[in-house]
């Protein structure tokens, strides 16, 4: 059994309208491009990837902290929000410079102090303000130095995140390097999905019950546990999403399911198996996790579980549900299975293997260029104003996910629909199924 270091998690906390989603969007930035690349991915995201310098991290927007009269905020807080705070490596608590300290801020501050988490206090909407005018009064919250930022203008944001990540110990650098090489021949698989979709059942089926018990041990670090298994001659490393428990001060008994562990496992793997329960609706949480998979660029296979004992009507229903809510996952292969009865497992793993191969495919420059030219011959990119984009050649710019870089002129004028057309052509030519494919354009003028 081995472990791998997870990426640090920064959780954004604060009452409604202080600017959490504005800050989230600034930190993750890729939203606009993503929505164009994955039609249907329009839901509010809550989980994203950020990067300062060389250091990647995961950002979680914990949503609102609405107080509910009588029962009190603590009781009413969504359990996942509590858990996200407890499990995050560092919390950024946002308040509003223009409104000053209010009662709810005080309540949240008290909770955060009680949790004993590392907290940075960010006084947002402070563009053009001086510390004496905007920041000083927030000392009252008892969370140390207030940092003035402007999420919408960007002032102070990078410094804030740098300070936040300084609180998190860096992982050993040598374990990181090994990972990249290992990616190539072992399939690192993360099985993710909401509670009760059947993840543990599938894992038991794949690796055997006794080994799962051994690896479901409480942990105290940010490391993930990996478990190795072999099936049909292929070697897999399974990255756990549930086994680790951080011994929090208040939330000793965190729940079996953890969004944060899910995000970290997605980051650490190279193929995601997203499990959906055929018996229940697809929720916003499913969609948000799926959006995170897309954003990280991981290869993906979707497994619709509990297929046993469903009638025709129910089967049609869940397929429609999927098309309606997760159609941005159309690059991924979808399987139906029964983890309990062990049905549909081999075809599922075949798609996992294929998705892995696609993610690491080597795309030769001559073939890429030829496929691109053929595509252009059949359908020219439309003009935009006086500009007609001219595509000259293509080469591979990266793996996992594959990136195709197209060189030419006036490529800014390429429309999203033309980009998707090219993507389809590359996918067909190289049999790329199960991995996102990124296309980048480089214009020489
Ligand atoms: P959330 O509810 O905490 O996610 O808050 P939002 O990100 O939706 O922001 C609430 C409002 O505050 C929006 O109208 C934002 O445009 C505005 N806002 C966010 N950040 C800033 C900022 O740095 N300066 C100013 N002036 N307004 C901001
Ligand atoms: P997890 O929370 O995602 O790990 O879900 P579990 O593996 O604990 O499964 C939750 C429940 O669903 C258990 O009662 C399982 O027996 C049941 N379950 C799992 N897979 C299947 C399946 O393929 N068919 C049926 N009918 N039930 C299943």
Q: How far is it, in rounded angstroms, from Cα 63 to Cα 234? A: 41
For residues 45, 46, 51, 56, the Cα torsion angle rounded to the nearest 10 degrees is -120
Q: Does residue 295 contact residue 48 with C-beta atoms inside 8 Å?
A: yes
Choosing from 166, 199, 219, the residue where a domain stops is 166
User: Are 309 and 415 members of one domain?
Assistant: no
81 within some domain: yes
Tokens of 309: 């004992």
Q: Is residue 337 domain-shared with residue 370, that is, in the same domain?
A: no
Residue 421 phi/psi, 5-degree rounding, is -60, -50
Which of 326, 345, 360 corresponds to the end of one domain? 360
Whether residue 172 lies inside any domain: the answer is no
Dist. CA 392–CA 410, nearest whole Å: 11
Distance (Å, whole) CA 37 – CA 368: 20
111: its two tokens: 């909770």
Specify binding-site residues for GTP.
14-21, 61-65, 124-127, 193-200, 240-244, 305-308
Q: At CA 88, angle to CA 84 and CA 92, rounded to 5?
A: 95
**What pLDDT sits at residue 129?**
84
- 63 and 206 share one domain: no
Distance, CA of 194 to CA of 259 (rounded, Å): 9
For residue 151, how far is its CA from the centre of ligand 1 (angstroms)?
Answer: 7
Asked whether residue 308 falls in the same domain as residue 397, the answer is no
C-beta 22 within 6 A of ligand 1: yes
Contact 3, 226 (CB under 8 A): yes
Domain match, 119 and 221 both: no
In this prediction, residue 69 carries a pLDDT of: 42
Contact criterion met (CB below 8 Å) for 340 and 300 = no
Q: What is the pLDDT of residue 182?
A: 52
HSE on the CB side for 369, CA within 13 Å?
9
Binding site membership of 19 for ligand 1 (Cβ less than 6 Å):
yes
Does residue 150 belong to any structural domain of this protein? yes
Residue 166, preceding peptide bond in cis (omega within 30° of 0): no
CB 60 within 8 A of CB 263: yes
d(CA 58, CA 266): 11
Per the structure, how many domains does the chain have? 3
Domain with residue 208: its CATH number is 3.40.50.300
* Alpha carbons 164 and 90: distance in angstroms, whole number: 6
Examine residue 3 and state whether it is found in any structural domain, yes or no. Answer: no
SS3 content of the chain, % helix, strand, coil (to 5): 40, 25, 35
Residue at 439 is within a domain: yes
Per-residue tens of pLDDT for the chain, all 445 residues: 444 567 889 999 998 899 998 999 899 876 666 666 777 676 567 888 888 777 889 999 887 665 554 455 444 455 667 778 888 899 999 999 999 999 989 988 988 888 888 999 999 999 988 777 778 899 999 999 999 999 999 999 999 999 999 988 776 544 444 455 555 678 999 999 988 899 889 988 998 766 655 554 444 344 556 788 899 999 999 987 654 444 343 344 445 677 888 888 898 899 999 999 999 999 888 888 898 998 889 999 999 999 998 999 999 999 999 999 998 898 999 999 999 999 999 999 999 999 999 999 999 999 999 999 999 999 999 988 888 899 999 999 999 999 999 999 999 889 889 999 999 999 999 999 999 999 999 988 5
Q: How many CB atoms lie within 10 A of CB 66?
A: 12
Chain CA centroid to CA 201, Å: 24
| Mutation pick for ligand 1 pocket among 11, 129, 152 (CB with most ligand atoms within 8 Å) | 152
In a domain, 179, yes or no: no
Residues 220 and 353 in one domain: yes
Measure 324 CA to ligand 2 centroid, in angstroms: 24
Token pair 């990540």: residue: 165
Range of the domain at 128: 9-166
Does the Cβ of 151 fall within 6 Å of ligand 1? yes
Element (H, E) at 198: none
**At a CB cut-off of 8 Å and minimum separation 6, what does 99 contact?**
none
Using CA atoms, how far apart are residues 160 and 8, in angstroms rounded to an integer?
15
Same domain for 282 and 319, yes or no, is yes
**β-strand 90-96 against 55-61: which pairing, if any?**
unpaired
Assess if residue 175 is contained within a domain. Answer: no
Torsion of CA 120, 102, 132, 109, to 10 degrees: -20
Q: Of 190, 198, 259, 338, which is best to mutate to test ligand 2, by the most ligand atoms within 8 angstroms of its C-beta?
A: 198
- Whether 339 is in the pocket of ligand 2, judged by its Cβ within 6 Å, is yes
| CB crowding 288-321: b at 16 or more within 10 Å, else e | bbbbbbbbbbbbbbbbbbbbeebeeeeeeebeeb
If asked whether residues 339 and 195 sit together in one domain, one would say yes
Cβ neighbours of residue 406 under 8 Å, at least 6 residues apart? 372, 391, 392, 393, 394, 422, 439, 440, 441, 442
Which pLDDT does position 44 carry in this prediction?
65
Element (H, E) at 261: helix 259-268
21 lines ligand 1 (CB under 6 A): yes
- Among the listed residues 329, 255, 262, 265, the one whose alpha carbon sits nearest the alpha carbon of residue 289: 262
Half-sphere exposure at residue 286, Cβ-oriented, CA atoms within 13 angstroms:
26
Could you tell me if 318 and 195 lie in one domain? yes
- For residues 328 and 201, state if they share a domain: yes
Query: Is residue 188 within 6 Å of ligand 2 at its C-beta?
Result: no
d(CA 273, CA 202): 11
Domain shared by 344 and 384, yes or no: no
The reply to whether 343 and 254 lie within a common domain is yes
Q: Is residue 256 part of a domain?
A: yes
H or E element that contains 359: helix 345-359
CA pair distance 242, 370, nearest whole angstrom: 46
Whole-structure pTM value = 0.83
- CA distance from start to end of the chain: 52
For residue 243, give the ligand nearest its CA.
2
Q: Is the CB–ligand 2 distance for residue 198 below 6 Å?
A: yes
Contact 401, 297 (CB under 8 A): yes
Of 326, 344, 360, the one marking the end of a domain is: 360
């Amino acid at each position: 059994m081995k472990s791998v270091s997870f990426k640090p998690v920064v959780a954004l906390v604060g009452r409604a309208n202080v600017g959490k989603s504005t800050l989230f969007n600034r930190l993750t930035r890729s939203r606009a491009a993503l929505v164009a690349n994955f039609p249907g991915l329009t839901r509010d995201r809550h989980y994203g990837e950020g990067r300062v310098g060389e250091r990647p991290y995961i950002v979680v927007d914990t949503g609102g902290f609405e107080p509910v009269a009588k029962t009190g905020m603590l009781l009413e807080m969504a359990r996942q929000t509590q858990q996200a705070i407890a499990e995050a490596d560092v919390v950024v608590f946002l308040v509003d410079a223009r409104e000053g300290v209010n009662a709810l801020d005080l309540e949240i501050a008290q909770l955060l102090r009680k949790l004993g988490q590392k907290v940075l206090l960010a006084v947002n909407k402070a563009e053009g303000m001086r510390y004496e005018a905007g920041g000083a009064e927030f000392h009252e919250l008892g969370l140390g130095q207030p940092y003035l930022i402007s999420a919408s203008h960007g002032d102070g944001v990078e410094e804030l995140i740098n300070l936040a990540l300084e609180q998190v110990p860096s992982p050993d650098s040598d374990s990181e390097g090994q990972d990249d090489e290992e990616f190539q021949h072992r399939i690192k698989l993360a099985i993710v999905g909401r509670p009760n979709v059947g993840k543990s059942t599938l894992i038991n089926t794949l690796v055997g019950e006794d080994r799962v018990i051994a690896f479901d041990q409480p942990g105290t670090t940010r490391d993930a546990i990996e478990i190795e298994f072999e099936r049909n001659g292929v070697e897999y490393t399974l990255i756990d999403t549930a086994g680790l428990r951080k011994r929090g001060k208040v939330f000793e008994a965190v729940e079996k399911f953890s969004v944060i562990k899910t995000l970290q496992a997605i980051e650490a793997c190279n193929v995601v198996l997203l499990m959906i329960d055929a018996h229940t609706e697809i929720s916003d949480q499913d969609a948000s996790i799926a959006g995170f998979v897309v954003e990280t660029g991981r290869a993906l296979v979707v497994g619709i579980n509990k297929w046993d004992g469903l009638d025709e009507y129910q089967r049609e229903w869940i397929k429609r549900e999927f098309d309606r809510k997760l159609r941005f996952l159309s690059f991924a292969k979808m399987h139906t299975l029964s983890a309990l009865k062990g049905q549909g497992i081999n075809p599922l793993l075949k798609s996992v293997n294929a998705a892995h191969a696609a993610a690491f495919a080597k795309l030769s420059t001559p073939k890429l260029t030829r496929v691109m030219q053929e595509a252009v011959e059949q359908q020219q990119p439309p003009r935009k104003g006086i500009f007609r984009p001219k595509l000259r050649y293509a080469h591979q710019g990266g793996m996992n996910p594959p990136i195709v870089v197209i060189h030419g002129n006036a490529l800014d004028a390429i429309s999203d629909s033309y980009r998707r057309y090219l993507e389809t052509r590359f996918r067909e030519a190289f049999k790329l199924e199960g991995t996102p494919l990124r296309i980048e354009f480089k214009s020489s003028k």
